[in-house]
A and B are shown apart, each in its own frame.
Chain A
């Protein structure tokens, strides 16, 4: 497969997943600002922007956080390369470039998302936030469904999925990191029951609230949630699920191409590391420190994937 095709497939997935993450972030932020335990409007949104890597861009354009501006910055703003609108537009553009590597259904899902986005942007009255986030998640789900149901299981499918898992793991880490900021202005709050309503908000934003209760039952504790979102392979958005997913698809590529690459080895190493971790170790290291380290490792993985497959240089 052309390296450029693989690259675009990988970015279709990353952009669409990122659009979904932004929608989920907005949902978390909006709900947190409604909580009686919230520590003031400003710091909630601040931490959300910081964790999602949007703080600098936002501040430059609007200054102090305010919900209406944050909504338009994270959802509609084309100047923000990570806004939902930018991500969906980019995903559709990535798809258009490699139209031939997609089935009609997959293209249809991408294109419909883009066309509907233009309608939403052009509408006189702005829909409320929960409608918008629902809409984004539905588009993302349609795309994944179309990919799953119709796409050939060739190398392109593996690149697409590596993109999905990479972005999703990154997103889970960032969403948790929002929680870290909101929850832990002082480190000694950790592990207390104070934060449970906010944690469950976070689970809801990841559509994992009920799943969590099924998996653990009883009281919500920080340790259980950290385990669920980081180390539990049953959770579809946990870091370990994402890394195992990337590892699996990289292994399939290695089998298909008949040789391993730096990327294959990097995935296997990260998976082995996570498998040997416990929640105690993570809290010992510091949740924020652990998450930051994961986000850095993810960025490094992105670089290795690019070098191994997407740049088209001779290996």
Chain B
């Protein structure tokens, strides 16, 4: 039986950051709890924070379950996380500029050439381009798990278009509305500066040809996308237009949006669609979501695209294992945050270890996301393990394996009362002229008892995440 670190109660009893939450949660009989939970759900539904999962069918207006029990960090814990996250965000961007340029890290033999240049996410179309301020990934989502009082691991990064920040903001809003007393008793760092910071970040990377105040837009695949709510939410809070591909067109050196007054030039595009769909002339010719000719404008400095096309090569799960190496190589620093030990099935020795210990490991597809296409060894039947073994052996390079981490738990409201459930954390690091991080992030919680999978598509919920002012 693995023992898990409980963030509220550990060996010596109640941990200090949670001291106010003990009396608060004790004063929450089932009736009151259900009433509050119903209030939260009604509010979420009214503002339209819903979530659809691709390919699952069912209710397109499903809500992500919201757990009212907050997750708390001390200022000290956060300070370390913040330094570690910013360090990784800087290294990842340096890596991207490098691999689309001279490739020094490859020449120095610190990362295998084929891993970078044969990577499906490596975009030949942007070789030689240095985006404004040398930033490829403007919003870096860092998934972090905790296993002990001061043990944090980075599980993976998302350098393209990490989602979920709207849940961070709405969860806070909900808690402040329902439990204002908690915010009087505790000194909790605000997170609601995020949209302003995001807007400033995007404006700070305006392209060379932009004179004056840049026009920023968010490019969405459309209202059928599962994250559409978030796209419109951010556009609203930043006061920028939310556009679809059909609203944009290229004329000469610039990109324009169609408005009721005629065409208006667009300088910075925060895109929430994949590289592949950006420009049918450059990438997938069948894409109906993108803008024909956009990449030509981008190359010639007429528009900035955030994140920059090609950024995905940095968050590949196999490249991930080299992030500590990037920190040392580009920054000359020691990594503040640790990686989870990872075995690359493409390596002969690693593959041997993985296949021998499959029942104890978590195995993921290199390009997978959303908690799909993965094996959680200890939670799987023999037949499932064997089936997965066959899949790994058929294409070893497509898989990595990690030890099953003892994810920390936090108290969570469940039907029977309060019980520990496993959580992770996704803060959002903004990279532009400055590197910024709002104190907090999205805490995802695996609501099923014993489950370690926190993805919202597989029964995960969200919690408000507090950083206390020490």
Contact at B46–A111, with CB atoms within 8 Å?
A: yes
Q: Does B262 reach chain A (CB closer than 8 Å)?
A: yes
> Assuming A2-B247, A312-B247, is B259 touching A100 (CB within 8 A)?
no
Interface of A: prevailing SS: helix
Distance A3 CA – B47 CA, assembled complex (angstroms): 25
Contact at B236–A1, with CB atoms within 8 Å?
A: no
The interface bits of chain A over 150-180 (1 if a CB of B lies within 8 angstroms of the residue's CB, else 0) are 0000010001000000000000000000000
Contact at A2–B46, with CB atoms within 8 Å?
A: no
Instruction: List, sorted by A's number, 24 A–B pairs whose CB atoms are closer than 8 Å.
Output: A1-B261, A2-B241, A2-B259, A3-B247, A3-B258, A3-B260, A4-B243, A4-B244, A4-B246, A5-B241, A6-B260, A96-B228, A98-B232, A98-B242, A99-B48, A99-B233, A100-B235, A107-B48, A115-B46, A253-B260, A257-B261, A310-B260, A312-B258, A312-B260
Distance A180 CA – B436 CA, assembled complex (angstroms): 68
**Which one of A1, A104, A112 lies within 8 Å of B260 (CB-CB)?**
A1
Q: Does A127 reach chain B (CB closer than 8 Å)?
A: no
CB nearest neighbor in B for A100: B236
The interface bits of chain A over 174-215 (1 if a CB of B lies within 8 angstroms of the residue's CB, else 0) are 000000000000000000000000000000000000000000
Contact at A315–B262, with CB atoms within 8 Å?
A: yes
Other CB < 8 Å A-B pairs besides A96-B228, A314-B262, 4 of them? A111-B46, A115-B46, A312-B247, A313-B258
Contact at B259–A96, with CB atoms within 8 Å?
A: no
Q: Shortest distance in angstroms between A14's beta carbon and chain B's nearest beta carbon?
A: 17
Chain B contacts for A97, CB-based, 8 A: 223
Q: Does B45 reach chain A (CB closer than 8 Å)?
A: yes
Contact at A111–B48, with CB atoms within 8 Å?
A: yes
Q: Does A75 reach chain B (CB closer than 8 Å)?
A: no
The interface bits of chain A over 77-118 (1 if a CB of B lies within 8 angstroms of the residue's CB, else 0) are 000000000000000010011111000100110011001000
Contact at A100–B242, with CB atoms within 8 Å?
A: yes
Q: Does B370 reach chain A (CB closer than 8 Å)?
A: no
Q: Does B371 reach chain A (CB closer than 8 Å)?
A: no
The interface bits of chain B over 42-67 (1 if a CB of A lies within 8 angstroms of the residue's CB, else 0) are 00011110000000000000000000
Q: Shortest distance in angstroms between B229's beta carbon and chain A's nearest beta carbon?
A: 8
The interface bits of chain A over 1-45 (1 if a CB of B lies within 8 angstroms of the residue's CB, else 0) are 111111000000000000000000000000000000000000000
User: What residues of chain A have their CB less than 8 Å away from a CB belonging to chain B?
Assistant: 1-6, 93, 96-100, 104, 107-108, 111-112, 115, 155, 159, 253, 257, 309-310, 312-315
Distance A6 CA – B263 CA, assembled complex (angstroms): 14
Q: Does B257 reach chain A (CB closer than 8 Å)?
A: yes
Distance A257 CA – B48 CA, assembled complex (angstroms): 33
Chain A contacts for B243, CB-based, 8 A: 2, 4
Q: Shortest distance in angstroms between B42's beta carbon and chain A's nearest beta carbon?
A: 9
Chain A contacts for B228, CB-based, 8 A: 96
Q: Shortest distance in angstroms between B413's beta carbon and chain A's nearest beta carbon?
A: 24
Contact at A93–B223, with CB atoms within 8 Å?
A: yes
**Which one of B232, B247, B261 lies within 8 Å of A100 (CB-CB)?**
B232
Chain A contacts for B262, CB-based, 8 A: 314-315
Chain B contacts for A159, CB-based, 8 A: 260
Contact at A2–B257, with CB atoms within 8 Å?
A: yes
Contact at A115–B45, with CB atoms within 8 Å?
A: yes
Chain B contacts for A107, CB-based, 8 A: 47-48
Chain A contacts for B246, CB-based, 8 A: 4
User: In B235-292, which residues have CB < 8 Å from any A CB?
Assistant: 235-236, 241-244, 246-247, 257-263
Contact at A257–B260, with CB atoms within 8 Å?
A: yes
Q: Shortest distance in angstroms between B43's beta carbon and chain A's nearest beta carbon?
A: 10
CB nearest neighbor in B for A96: B223
Distance A4 CA – B263 CA, assembled complex (angstroms): 13
> Assuming A96-B223, A100-B236, A100-B242, is B45 touching A3 (CB within 8 A)?
no
Contact at A309–B223, with CB atoms within 8 Å?
A: no
Chain A contacts for B244, CB-based, 8 A: 4
Contact at A314–B263, with CB atoms within 8 Å?
A: yes
Chain A contacts for B247, CB-based, 8 A: 2-4, 312
In this complex, the member of A1, A99, A313 whose beta carbon has the largest number of chain B beta carbons within 10 angstroms is: A99
Q: Shortest distance in angstroms between B173's beta carbon and chain A's nearest beta carbon?
A: 12
Chain A contacts for B241, CB-based, 8 A: 2, 5, 100
Chain B contacts for A6, CB-based, 8 A: 260
Distance A253 CA – B229 CA, assembled complex (angstroms): 30
Q: Shortest distance in angstroms between B236's beta carbon and chain A's nearest beta carbon?
A: 4
Chain A contacts for B235, CB-based, 8 A: 100
Distance A253 CA – B261 CA, assembled complex (angstroms): 10
Q: Shortest distance in angstroms between B258's beta carbon and chain A's nearest beta carbon?
A: 3
Distance A1 CA – B242 CA, assembled complex (angstroms): 11
Distance A100 CA – B257 CA, assembled complex (angstroms): 17
Chain A contacts for B223, CB-based, 8 A: 93, 96-97
Chain A contacts for B236, CB-based, 8 A: 99-100
Distance A57 CA – B246 CA, assembled complex (angstroms): 32
**Which one of B46, B232, B259 lies within 8 Å of A108 (CB-CB)?**
B46
Distance A159 CA – B261 CA, assembled complex (angstroms): 13
Contact at B259–A1, with CB atoms within 8 Å?
A: yes
CB nearest neighbor in B for A114: B61
CB nearest neighbor in B for A110: B48
User: In B313-340, which residues have CB < 8 Å from any A CB?
Assistant: none
Contact at A112–B259, with CB atoms within 8 Å?
A: no
Distance A155 CA – B259 CA, assembled complex (angstroms): 11
CB nearest neighbor in A for B249: A312
